[in-house]
Amino acid sequence: MTREQDELARRASRLGLYGILAHWDELKGEPWLRTVIEYEEQERAHRSLERRRKNARVGAFKPIADFDWKHPTKIDRRLVTELFSFEFLTYAINPIIIGPNGTGKSLIAKNLIHEAVLKGHTALFTSASAMLNDLAAQDGPLARKRRFRRYTSPGLLCIDEVGYLSYDSSLADLLFEVVTQRYAAEASIIITTNRPFSEWNEVFPNAACVATLVDRLCHRAELIQIVGSSYRVKEAKERTKKRRARRTASKTTKAKTTKAKTKTKRSPRRP
C-alpha cells in the first residue's frame, strides 16, 4: 500500500466507512476514492458545526468588532483579546467578567461562545435564571440528574447575568452543583455579573454554599473588570439627540417653505 493509500485508509477509518474498508483492496486504486472521502469529511464537519451552533444557544448578538473599546472608563482590552485564543480552556480557567449593566459583558461572552464553536469546541450560553429555573423544574432526582448534563457536558459553559436577581438557597444549591461538577471535570465556566463576589451573599441570601461556590470559581479564574456607564443608555441618548435634530431640521425646512410661498403670493404683478 502506498503512503497516499495508507493516508486515505486512515481517513476512511476515522469516518467509519466500513463498507469501503471491507473492499479496500478492490477500491484503493480508484481515482474517485479521494473525492468521496473529502466530500464525506466536509459534510460531517458542516453538520458538526451546525449541531454545535444550535446547541450553543447564543441567539442574536453584535460581533466583537462592533465593541466600543473607548466607551468604558476601564477595561483590559489585551486580556479580553487573549481570551479568544482559548488557551484558558487548556488550564480550566474561568473568565469572570464583572461590570455594571450595559457595559458589554454579555457581548463579550456571546462572542467567546460563538468563536469557541467555530474552533470546534462544544459550548453553551445561558442566563443564570434560565439555567436555575430549568433545573428546578425537573420532575424528580433522575430527571434533574439527566438535565445537569446539559450544563456540565459542554467544553465551555457561559452563565450570564449572575447577580441581577436574587435566588433562594435551593437554587443556590443547583448552581453550586453545576460549578462543582465542572470544577471536578476541569471544565471552564464564563461568568458575567454586575456584583463583586463580596456581594454574592445578597444574590443568594441564606445559602450556606456561597463561600465554597465563590472559592471554586475563583481558584482558577481570570477576572475582567469593566468600569463605565451603560452603553445602551449612551445609544439611547444619541438616538434621541438625532431625532430632535431631524425634527428641528424638518421644522426649519417647513418654515422656510411657508415663508417662500407667502412671499410669492404677496409679490405685485407686473403690468
Q: Which residues contact 39 (CB under 8 A, 6 or more apart)?
A: none
Quote the pLDDT of residue 248: 73
Q: Specify the pTM.
A: 0.79
Q: Which domains does the chain have, with CATH numbers?
A: 3-55 (no CATH), 64-225 (3.40.50.300)
Q: Which residues of the chain have pLDDT under 70?
A: 1, 232-238, 240-241, 255, 260-261, 263-271
Helix axes 33-56, 105-118, angle to 10 degrees: 160
DSSP letter for each residue of 139-194 = SSHHHHHHHHHHHHSSSEEEEEEETSS---HHHHHHHHHHHHHHHHTT-EEEEEES
Q: What is the pLDDT of residues 117-171, one digit of tens each?
A: 999 999 999 999 999 999 999 999 999 999 999 999 999 999 999 998 889 999 9
Q: What is the pLDDT of residues 29-40, one digit of tens each?
A: 888 999 999 999
Q: What is the pLDDT of residues 186-198, one digit of tens each?
A: 999 999 999 999 9
Do 122 and 155 contact (CB within 8 A), yes or no? yes
Quote the pLDDT of residue 242: 73
Distance CA 95, CA 192 (A): 9
Distance CA 213, CA 201 (A): 11
